[in-house]
Amino acid sequence: MSAVIQNSQKRLADRDLITPEGVNLGVRLADVSTRFGALVMDLLVMVVILIVATIVISVGGNGIGGEGAFIIWILMFFVLRNFYFML
């Protein structure tokens, strides 16, 4: 019985990806825990980038002022949040 369940789960994790050229690429989907771990790592990278940007803006942006630094930080957060996963 467990072999039947494993085969059905195996088929659910396998996908066929057909490219525009007609090449069939067999793709196996990752487990939920693996995808969650990758998301956590990506979010940590984004937080580290924002922390480094905050330090750089606070040290190097003497003429910007508090509001200007906040605007730059919000723009960086927007770009990271919306375009990070396209890289």
Residue 5: predicted pLDDT: 53
Report the C-alpha gap between 70 and 86 in whole angstroms: 25
CA atoms within 13 A of residue 43's CA, in its CB half-sphere: 6
Report the C-alpha gap between 53 and 75 in whole angstroms: 11
Q: What confidence category does residue 61 fall into, taking pLDDT thresholds of 50, 70 and 90?
A: low
pTM of the model: 0.66
Q: What confidence category does residue 38 fall into, taking pLDDT thresholds of 50, 70 and 90?
A: very high
Q: Is the pLDDT of residue 6 over 80?
A: no
